[in-house]
Amino acid sequence: MAERVAILLAAGVSSRMNTQLPKVLHEVTGRPMLAYVLDACRSVGTDKIYVVVGFGADQVKERFSGASDIVWVEQAEQKGTAHAVGCCREHLKDFRGQTLVLCGDGPLIRAKTLQTLIDKHEAEHSAATLATAVLEDPTGYGRIVRDAYGNIQGIVEDSDCSPAQKAIREVNPSYYLFHNQALFAALEQVKPDNVKGEYYLTDALSVLIATGHKVVAITAVRPEEAMGVNSRAQLSVASKIMQQRIQQEMMENGVTIVDPDNTWIDARAQIGQDTVIEPFTYIHGPIRIGRGCRIGPFAYLRDDTVIENDVVLGVFTEVKDVTLADGVRARHHSYLGDAVIGRNVNIGAGSITANFDGKTISRTTVGDDCYIGSGTVLIAPLVLQAGAHVGAGTVVSQEDVDKLTEEQERR
């Protein structure tokens, strides 16, 4: 197998997003856009990933600080995609393997498509291979120009297209695979001879073709995968497409989602077989839900919550950073935050954990087989022993529990 690295372009400023946050950090179903591109690269066996950053570089680095396979490359001045790739020259000047070049703002990328690109590149022994898409509306994309035999002759950016070229529907969604040495040799000959006065990576392909190298284009990118995110509206569209993917996979794995259009599930969530997700449920964060649960309608799950098996969370129930053991029932209008709830505990309607006193967040522990009556307030920090029975409308503090324990011991 050939050695393979990736270069991800993540330095640009998005004026259309109207944001102070680096574009690649905007989230799609709970994860930064860049995270999806990184995952796709890792899935096809990249040894190192060179991420080119510029605007908000420190924020991007901090968000992915735990990744040992990332090499950060700074592009101090944005002069185009070829210039961005060229910033990696010192790192890769002696590398003789394959180099993927992708955009960091394409969260809908799939590893399967990258593998198709790699297979084609290796089968053709080409200097460069790109994966293309065919779109109903190609506006904004570089057009693929082919000869009468179907061989690629180059890519013309949308702003440089003639009227005839604008009618071409095969586009360049920026999925590239190069022989690394050919790539950097071609970059040396790229000139900013275009409307924007930028150094285009697409011109490196023209250089390779003109100098007799083999360049291949395979139509392998689905229309949805071709979409980069350049506006808040496109971010919303990408999130909806990703949500459909997430829910489809979960349903294939045995989860019932009653109304997918009115359910939102974070990309980091895990849900077990035969669990039912009722309408208007919002699951946000790395939530884990076990088997045979029923969640919702109108439930809100967030912040590292773990739900084990056969748990029922009903209408207008919110949980945050909670572990709920097997058999817990919290059917109506409850809030459980920063708590561990034991097996077979019943949480009555309107009961809450009061976990924040204005300064400190504290935790509540409820033992197995407890009964918590309707309208109960459990004031943290609090530990309720197994089998405790709390009547409806009770306000319980640790001081109350300790006093009751002392009385029972005196008796």
Instruction: Tell whether 142 is in a known binding site.
Output: yes
Strand, helix or coil at 70? strand
Instruction: Tell whether 93 is in a known binding site.
Output: no
Q: Which two tokens mark 249?
A: 């996979």
Instruction: Tell whether 105 is in a known binding site.
Output: yes
Instruction: Tell whether 320 is in a known binding site.
Output: yes
Question: Which of 171, 38, 159, 152 is closest to 100 using CA atoms?
Answer: 38
| Sign for the pseudo-dihedral over CA of 116, 121, 122, 124 | positive
With beta carbons less than 8 A apart as the criterion, state whether 41 and 6 touch: yes
User: CA 159, CA 181: separation in Å to the nearest integer?
Assistant: 29
Instruction: Tell whether 346 is in a known binding site.
Output: yes
User: CA 404, CA 199: separation in Å to the nearest integer?
Assistant: 76
Residue 153 to residues 127, 149, 183, 204, 206, Cα–Cα distance (Å): 14, 10, 17, 12, 7
Residue 195 to residues 78, 137, 159, 378, Cα–Cα distance (Å): 16, 22, 7, 66
Instruction: Tell whether 167 is in a known binding site.
Output: no
Instruction: Tell whether 403 is in a known binding site.
Output: no
Instruction: Tell whether 344 is in a known binding site.
Output: no
Classify residue 309 by its DSSP letter: S
Instruction: Tell whether 323 is in a known binding site.
Output: no
Instruction: Tell whether 386 is in a known binding site.
Output: no
Question: What angle (nearest 5°) sits at the alpha carbon of residue 316, between those of residues 311 and 320?
Answer: 65
Is 125 noted as a catalytic residue in this protein?
no
The helix or strand, by DSSP H or E, that contains position 74, with its residue range, turns out to be strand 70-74
Strand, helix or coil at 108? coil
Instruction: Tell whether 9 is in a known binding site.
Output: yes
Bridge partners, residue 131, by sequence: 175, 218
The helix or strand, by DSSP H or E, that contains position 353, with its residue range, turns out to be strand 352-354
Catalytic choice (125, 332, 333, 389): 332
Q: Which two tokens mark 108?
A: 């809908």
Instruction: Tell whether 119 is in a known binding site.
Output: no
Question: Which of 289, 250, 241 is closest to 28 using CA atoms?
Answer: 241
User: CA 121, CA 364: separation in Å to the nearest integer?
Assistant: 57
With beta carbons less than 8 A apart as the criterion, state whether 363 and 346 touch: no
59-88 core/surface letters (b: 16 or more CB in 10 A; e: else): ebeebbeeeeebebbebeebbbbbbbbbbb
- For the chain, the first-to-last Cα distance in angstroms comes to 77
Instruction: Tell whether 204 is in a known binding site.
Output: no
Annotated binding-site positions = 9-12, 23, 75, 80-81, 105, 142, 157, 172, 230, 302, 320, 335, 346, 349, 374, 392
Active-site residues, by number, are 332
Annotated binding-site positions for UDP-N-acetyl-alpha-D-glucosamine = 9-12, 23, 75, 80-81, 142, 157, 172, 230, 302, 320, 335, 346
Annotated binding-site positions for acetyl-CoA = 349, 374, 392
Annotated binding-site positions for Mg(2+) = 105, 230
